Amino acid sequence: MQHKHVGIVGLGLMGGSLSLALQKVYPNLHVTGLDHNMTHCQQALEMGLVNDITDSLDEIGKCDIVFLSIPVDGIIAVAQQLKPSNPECTVIDLGSTKAKISQSIPPSTRHFFVTAHPMTGTEKFGPQAALPDLYEGKVVVLCDLEKSGEHQQQIAKTLFEAIGMKLVFMDSEAHDRHAAFISHMPHALSYALANAVMRQEDPESIVALAGGGFRDMSRIAKSSPNMWEDIFRQNKENLLEAIDALSTELAQCQKMVENEEWEALNRWMSEANSLHTIL
């Protein structure tokens, strides 16, 4: 991995943090960035996240390794346009949904691509949100790996392990169903919780009472609406299934409270406690 040329498309939280993590492990990397936001490009240069900037996918296609850390709809668009001229190029997308991305990559370039989902992030965005340890100790899901070239498979595994990630392998459709429950539905819940409070008569007085629990549950409602609109659209069916499951549990809780079924409510809460035996 000495003197490799890395291209990062998307210089926000995920791309910026990835650059910091890779440069820590591989100090001789040359990193070229591409981002449609010129402010982000300038910030990334000033912060040392990249060595230079390009606006050309053809230039990015010359890199040894390319990361696509942009919203999921953008990943699909770039994947269909990107034609690596480097025969050993490895293109790794970091999208939060995987099936539609995996299926959209043209057969002629599919072997270049590794579809991955690092299970990490914060509610913040932009280059200034970048963290050097964002990926350390976290899980990365590698999907449909059999569709990637052997060289590309090995490069992706090596890079993610080098920055301290735990590898999980999964079919892309299974990933999307699981991610709907563990990531996408919780974001929908957080947005709903925030709106439920903001639509009350005196939301400022309500928030004045907020403790750690409320802040933890509502934190991710600060996440980018544009990014999460794309994710919800791409994973619509699985998200609706997850929201339906959540709605069933909330309705059950509501019924027990209305009917003052306190012992049943206590058992229901105890069942929820068991989740933490497998986390």
Q: Do 74 and 158 share a structural domain?
A: yes
pLDDT confidence of residue 278: 79
Q: What is the pLDDT of residue 258?
A: 97
Identify the segments of the chain with pLDDT beneath 70: 1-3
H/E run at residue 245 = helix 236-258
CA 73 to chain centre: 13
So what's the pLDDT on residue 245? 97
Does one domain contain both 155 and 190? no
Q: What is the pLDDT of residues 142-159, one digit of tens each?
A: 999 999 999 999 999 999
**CA neighbours closer than 13 Å in the CB half-sphere of residue 249:** 10
The domain tally of the chain equals 2
Where in the sequence is the domain holding 112, given as residue range(s)?
5-170
Same domain as 181, residue 77 = no
pLDDT value for 1: 58
Are residues 189 and 134 located together in one domain of the fold?
A: no
One domain for residues 145 and 182: no
What's the pLDDT score for residue 217? 86
CATH number of the domain at 151, please. Answer: 3.40.50.720
Cβ-defined contacts of 55-61 (< 8 Å, 24+)? 57/81, 57/82, 58/83, 58/85, 59/7, 59/32, 60/7, 60/9, 60/32, 60/34, 61/85, 61/86, 61/89
